[in-house]
Structure 1
Amino acid sequence: MQEPDSHSVDEHARGGSRLPAAEFLRANHDALLTDWQQAVFERLNRKDSTRPPWLIDHMPELLTALTEAMEVGPEALDERLEAAHAAARLDAGFNLGEVAQEYALLRRCILHRLEALEQRLRPGDLTRLEETLDRVVTRTMTFFWDMKQRILQTLDRMSEATLDDPDMETLLERLLTRLMESALTVDTAAVMLLEDDALVVRAAMGLSTDEVKGLRVPVGQGVSGLAALERRPFFVRSAATDPRVLVGPLRRAGLRALYGLPLMDGERLLGMAYMGSRTAFAFSDSDVLLFHAVAERASAHIAQAELHAREHAARKEAERSLALLDSLLDAAPVGIAFLDPDLHYLRINDTMAHLNGHPVEAHRGRTVREMVREDVVESVERPMRQVLETGQPVQDVLIQGPDPVRGRAGSWRVDYFPVRTPDGVLLGVGNTVVDVSDYKRAETALQQAIDFREELIAVLGHDLRNPLHAVNASAFMLGKIPALDTPARRSVDRIRKATARMARMINDILDFARSRLGGGIPVTRQHVNMEELCQGMLEELQVVYPERPLVLEVHGDDLWGDWDPDRVTQVLGNLVVNALQHARNDSPVVTTLTGESAEVVMQVRNEGNPIPPELLPHLFDPFKQSSVPNAGSKHRSLGLGLYIVSEIVQVHRGSVRVETAAGDGTTFTVRWPRVPPPLGYLTP
């Protein structure tokens, strides 16, 4: 149809001949739509995005159809347009009154614009316009009501399908059956669930049912896979010939229309549902709307079934975990308990319950103050509250008191720790109790034995020193008698050697007792010359061991430092005597002194078999037993000589190490710092 001449419209506006209704509607088409849109927003108060207040795709066409009906008659009205408008409003959640009000607002917008323009329609047109609008309203509301009743009836039948709580596949097949019974053009329907990265057909009704079940379509491939990836519906006009349809049985069945839409749980994709027809190239709006309702209900059931499955699995896992926990609690040799933030017992094992003096069943739901003995309740409750306040464990708490199980005094070590969920929420506090009564008694007895041994050694050392001095002095006097024959002089030498060895042993005993009981070996530093100290000590030892060569080698001019002279000679004496005991009888023991910038290095070397590897880690331990090579028997000694060496060197902030190898003999190296380094300094 041709547009009206603008000159003619102007003449009508100036009060000429009256305006035909069709020309008025066509000339004010866009303005009427704008007025109507604003009226709908204001009157229906539908500005939210989830339920759109109007669908502009339908109203412009409806207004155009109304214009044509005013020219050629009511037959120009297309029922499909009215049905589509009714389906869209039903899908958007409108009720029947809101649909009626939309048309009432359109009628009011037309009348208001006529008044605003001071225009009058030609005789009879206003009546015809009113009748045509009434026809549109009546048919739209009839379509709306019929579709709503149809959907409600289908949903009622779908609800009946769930009454006996069927399994997922049976439920989905029942829903699809209700759809096919309500939509006569639908010949097949199916639900595809998302499993990993593919859509799997888990329920199907109608054509090719057995063939399609279990088929997989990768997400992103084919028409259904791409629609699932993009979360949108799809429509295929001829499924039998469209290469995008990857489900072979659907193509072989000769399907025409194929419509599908994603099944969603909020933003989460559950799968896809589709329906197909072998007779229709397109589904009616009412069938599509019904399919949406069925799909929405199916999505809800699928999501609910998944939730129930997860809850069931979680419940089973919780029961399994609690069973394992109960088994662990029952079998554990320690006391274990878990309490809530108000310090009510949640779980406790027999061991802990017996310590509290009540059965396990009596603890559940009761507080610590109600179940723990009065004499220890404060010491038990305090660390628990500390754990709840700080969220940090409290460990190694010692509790002592009467043991209700053994009927005697007991000691227990208790550890308290926070109990949290995987995401860090504090659920309460747990504690473990270990009976350390026997350990404490054994520890006390052992400490008493050690103290007694060390005190006894110290007393013996002091008491033996006086008679030993008398023996040594007597031997010295006997050695001065000129008339002694050779055998007698040898006997005197043996006495002097024995007394010298006993003197060193007593000194070692006393130093050991000081280090254990008195807080360390005392030293008095003096500015002395290391060469003079070592030379004097070797001369004394040479008198005792005249048959063994003792050699002193000196490298460097500066051998001065701040050391305790008695302790330096004691270290050298112990190392040389140790070397004499383990060297070959004809080999010399060589002592080497080397002056370096910050320290003096003392080395004592002997030739002999190397020290066995298994003895090296314990070489400087007290009271060790070592074997003399090639002697064939145990060397009887207290094993304190090298221990005292290590202690004295440590007090001087130095270091001692040993090197031993077959063919090279054994060398002890002692580093003496000239000036003691600050505390915390480690000599390499």
Structure 2
Amino acid sequence: MLETESRAAGDKQASGARTLRVSAFLREYRVELLEEWQRAMRALHLGREAQPSWLLDHLPQLVDMLADLIDHGPDEILTTVPDEHAMSRLDAGFDLGQVATEYALLRQCILHRLEAESALPAPGELERLEGALDRIVTRTVTSFSQGRQRILQALDQMTQATLDSPSMASLPSRLLTVLVESALSVDAAALLLREGDRLVVRAAVGLGADEALGASMGLDEGFVGEVVRQRRPLALRSASASPREALPALRQEGLRAVYGVPLLDGDQVLGMVYMCSRTAFIFSEPDALLLRTMAQRATAYLVQARLQALERQAHADAQRSLAQLDALLASTPMGIAQLDRDLRYVRINQAMADINGAAPQAHLGRRFQEMAAATAVHTFEPMFRRMIETGEPVDAVEFSIPGNPRTYQASFHPIRMPDHTVLGLSCTVVDVSHHKRSEAMLQRAVDFREQLMAVVGHDLRNPLNAINASAFQLSRAQDLAPSERRAVDRIRKATARMGRMITDILDFARTRLGGGLPVALQPMDMAEVCQATLEELQVSAPERALRLVTSGDTRGTWDPDRVSQVLGNLVTNALQHGQEDMPVCVSVRGGVNEVVLEVHNTGEPIAGELMPRLFDPFKSHPVGTATQDVARKKRSLGLGLYIVSQIVRAHGGQVAVRSNQVEGTTFTVHWPRAPTLPQGA
């Protein structure tokens, strides 16, 4: 409701309207007017985040000033509120038209509220309202225009100060000089940069500049630390008398106003800048806005200067890395090249250029098909296209060039960005001619050795069989003396051992010549085959005890001759390496899907370094073995266990060994009851 005096002044007219004083109306409906104005402003700035911090920063004071101007007329002195409002709008990025528009909206809100309340201003009241509004608008627009002009001039001077791309050391001083020259009340200014957990004065001009330069303080100390912590502009009155000020330059006698602004790059605090005065207790809003503008521009320059420094450093690092890469490419005998997605040469070393028959510089920017041989283009270009599309590498591709006797091996890998985008591909080419010749010579030597072993093993059988048959006939003679009978037994044992060696040689030759070990599967009882085999072995080694233990169902489908050969080789190995006064134990256990054969002997365990290659052919015994043992064991070709592994593999089974000082040595063979023969067996 209106004040009593206002109600007395109003008269009800025939239309139902009442007359009143506009100043009283403004004070009475101040809250409603501000709310209506806010809604109008939000509608005007739909694309802009309208916060009360800038909507209502000065408007309540402006409404009160408008009421005072209406009451006291033209003699009323305007306060600085219009100036502050103008600087606030300039700082917020408003243009002059928007400033004028918000006053026009205020005028409309007042008139709409008068109409809504059916209130008729007393004679002359609307004229005083219009005059007061015009004074406020004129003052605001004038301050806005002067402030903008002043800022533009300062920015122009800042731009001039940076035209010659000054260094990081001189740029802040130039910007501060522009500030001091643009604001008459500023006696000194300084810029502090954050370095770790300290703020260091890196530029200072004006009063006490020499003493201030280089000073530092913690992030939580004094006025400048408070500006950094709060990340917003702050003002300080009577700085020289402030007990909390830690920076010596701000404790100089007679120093009054200080205004500081943080230098912010997003969420990162780069430092702060301050200005101070001996004549003013508080800086005017135009001066404060000038410092804030200068701080924004200084931050941009500092960030740009840092980015440029980083860019220069990165460029120098890249040049250094490229120089190192070029030196590496030039020194390596391997051919290396890089191609882009269009298969143009980006980089190539001398070795690769020599393969193509042109200088490295002649390749750069040229397509692969222009520089490589036609046969290489036909072979590799489709491969390169697939690599660029799929990103899959290709390794170890051998090729040769017509007219060139050399053989090359090439590998190709995609060049990827961190996001896996394929930029092109890298090529490495190695001359493998020497290796190919060495491989061919080695292969011929191996083929000759294995063919010779096969021939020798086959041709030795006939004379060996004749010797064995003759010895058998001699052993049946009744009139042999004991010494003669022992000689015949030695002949039979030697021929038996030679027969096993020849069998191993022939089987080895079959495996290495690609034929594989032949097996003839048939139903059999493994226990019976093992019993018969041990009886034959006992004849050749009557002085050693051979024991057999069987359990479970030991029937299955295997090659009985090969099973006998496996057991013979394992028992012979046990007799040769086991303790001579201890038995060799053989066990055959029937399981659900397999039969397990084990051969165990006591004695020195197998050397650890021999275990990984125990089933390899032609094994040598480790250094440190007793001389007598080496002589005895070297009578073996080292093929027995290799043949065992091949026979078991041909049956689809597995062979393993465990050996230690306490338990002795045990070979375990797993025979599937119904083996699936490997391909080629």
1:379-434 residue CA offsets vs partner (Å, 9 max, x unmatched) = 2212221221112222222223347xxx41x3222222121233433322112112
Counterpart for residue 169 of structure 1:
169
Of 128-137 and 350-359, more deviation after overlay is shown by: 128-137
Q: Distance in 2 between matches of 1:101 and 1:554?
A: 112
3-state SS of 2:496 partner: helix
> Structure 1 residues 468, 554: closer, same or farther in 2, change over 3 A?
same
Equivalent pair of 2:186/2:277 in contact (CA under 8 Å): yes
One-letter code aligned to 2:617: P
Equivalent pair of 1:646/1:656 in contact (CA under 8 Å): no
How many angstroms does 1:364 deviate by? 0.6
Q: Distance in 2 between matches of 1:209 and 1:103?
A: 44
Counterpart for residue 371 of structure 2:
371
3-state SS of 2:414 partner: strand
Equivalent pair of 1:625/1:637 in contact (CA under 8 Å): no
How many angstroms does 1:368 deviate by? 0.8
Counterpart for residue 670 of structure 1:
668
> Structure 1 residues 3, 648: closer, same or farther in 2, change over 3 A?
same
Q: Distance in 2 between matches of 1:106 and 1:602?
A: 106
Counterpart for residue 498 of structure 1:
494
Of 103-112 and 88-97, more deviation after overlay is shown by: 103-112
Asked if 1:477 corresponds to 2:478, the answer is no
Equivalent pair of 2:552/2:591 in contact (CA under 8 Å): no
Counterpart for residue 412 of structure 2:
416
Equivalent pair of 1:345/1:368 in contact (CA under 8 Å): yes
Q: Which runs of 5+ in 2 are unaligned?
A: none
Equivalent pair of 1:258/1:275 in contact (CA under 8 Å): yes
One-letter code aligned to 1:549: R
How many angstroms does 1:520 deviate by? 3.1
How many angstroms does 1:211 deviate by? 4.0
Counterpart for residue 513 of structure 2:
517
How many angstroms does 1:232 deviate by? 2.0
> Structure 1 residues 461, 114: closer, same or farther in 2, change over 3 A?
closer
> Structure 1 residues 29, 499: closer, same or farther in 2, change over 3 A?
closer
Asked if 1:605 corresponds to 2:593, the answer is no
1:578-602 residue CA offsets vs partner (Å, 9 max, x unmatched) = 3444467x73653333536453443
> Structure 1 residues 230, 544: closer, same or farther in 2, change over 3 A?
same
Counterpart for residue 277 of structure 2:
277
One-letter code aligned to 1:338: Q
How many angstroms does 1:251 deviate by? 3.3
> Structure 1 residues 618, 266: closer, same or farther in 2, change over 3 A?
closer
Q: Distance in 2 between matches of 1:401 and 1:320?
A: 36
Counterpart for residue 260 of structure 1:
260
Asked if 1:595 corresponds to 2:589, the answer is yes
One-letter code aligned to 2:499: A
Of 172-181 and 609-618, more deviation after overlay is shown by: 609-618
Counterpart for residue 568 of structure 2:
573
Q: Distance in 2 between matches of 1:523 and 1:558?
A: 22
1:110-130 residue CA offsets vs partner (Å, 9 max, x unmatched) = 67877885846436x665555
Of 411-420 and 239-248, more deviation after overlay is shown by: 239-248
Q: Distance in 1 between matches of 2:442 and 2:159?
A: 80
Q: Distance in 1 between matches of 2:302 and 2:539?
A: 103
Counterpart for residue 443 of structure 2:
447
1:319-362 residue CA offsets vs partner (Å, 9 max, x unmatched) = 12211221221122211111111111111111111111111001
Equivalent pair of 1:338/1:431 in contact (CA under 8 Å): yes
Of 191-200 and 6-15, more deviation after overlay is shown by: 6-15
> Structure 1 residues 137, 604: closer, same or farther in 2, change over 3 A?
closer
Counterpart for residue 187 of structure 1:
187
Q: Distance in 1 between matches of 2:210 and 2:577?
A: 94
Asked if 1:549 corresponds to 2:552, the answer is no
Counterpart for residue 157 of structure 2:
157
> Structure 1 residues 51, 7: closer, same or farther in 2, change over 3 A?
closer
Q: Distance in 2 between matches of 1:238 and 1:481?
A: 137
Query: What does 1:196-345 correspond to in 2, within 5 Å?
Result: 196-219=196-219, 222-242=222-242, 244-253=244-253, 255-266=255-266, 268-345=268-345
Asked if 1:148 corresponds to 2:142, the answer is no
Of 484-493 and 15-24, more deviation after overlay is shown by: 15-24
Aligned residues: 667
One-letter code aligned to 1:475: A
> Structure 1 residues 242, 505: closer, same or farther in 2, change over 3 A?
same
One-letter code aligned to 2:393: P
Task: Give the TM-score normalised by structure 1.
Answer: 0.86
One-letter code aligned to 1:122: P
> Structure 1 residues 253, 160: closer, same or farther in 2, change over 3 A?
farther
Query: What does 1:76-91 correspond to in 2, within 5 Å?
Result: 76-91=76-91
How many angstroms does 1:555 deviate by? 5.7
3-state SS of 2:427 partner: strand
Equivalent pair of 1:521/1:647 in contact (CA under 8 Å): yes
3-state SS of 1:375 partner: helix
Asked if 1:462 corresponds to 2:426, the answer is no
Identical columns (%): 49
Q: Which runs of 5+ in 1 are unaligned?
A: none
**Please, what is the CA RMSD of the aligned residues?**
3.7
> Structure 1 residues 659, 130: closer, same or farther in 2, change over 3 A?
closer
Equivalent pair of 1:200/1:214 in contact (CA under 8 Å): yes
1:44-87 residue CA offsets vs partner (Å, 9 max, x unmatched) = x5444379998544344334323323333433232412322332
Equivalent pair of 2:37/2:106 in contact (CA under 8 Å): yes
Equivalent pair of 1:508/1:640 in contact (CA under 8 Å): yes
